[in-house]
Amino acid sequence: MKIENRKKIPYIILVSFAILVVYYGFRAHYELNEIRDYKAFSKGFVYRANPAGKSVGLYIEYYFYVNNEKFSDGITTSLKKSSDEYIKNKYFPVIYSKHNPEFNRILITPSDFYEFNLGFPDSLSWVPKFCDK
């Protein structure tokens, strides 16, 4: 490989990384808008909850059904790592797009509900004590 071509490699990697970051940013924005515009609700079951990493909260995995079809997803939450046993094996609301249920969010914390302009239900009043502020 010529020296001139080797000098281009870091730039190619940087541009590729930038394209990926922009793509995933637009995709996340698109998904949230899709959910807001075509919202529907289901009941989701948290089957796994584990500490997400050194400085982040709890990673939860859940599933829900739409017209007898099962959808699974996972998300890192702001819940305290020590709350895993309280969250696991519980049901929570899931908001999803009627057009594409792959676009979904489980609603556990007050901020999850407020993100979609929804009131926080009294039935989950026990959850905020597990939220990292």
| Cα angle: 74, vertex 82, 24; to 5 degrees | 30
Task: Name, in order, each residue with C-beta under 8 angstroms of 110's C-beta and a sequence gap of 6 or more.
Answer: 120, 127, 128, 131
pLDDT classification of 66: cutoffs 50, 70, 90: very high
Q: What is the mean pLDDT of residues 127-132?
A: 87
Write out the residue range of the structural domain in which residue 107 sits.
Answer: 38-130
Q: What is the mean pLDDT of residues 22-49?
A: 85
Domain presence at residue 105 = yes
Dump pLDDT digits (tens) for 70-126. Answer: 999 999 888 888 888 999 999 999 999 999 999 999 999 999 999 999 999 999 999
Mean pLDDT of the chain: 87
pTM: 0.78
Domain presence at residue 87 = yes
Q: How many domains does the chain have?
A: 1
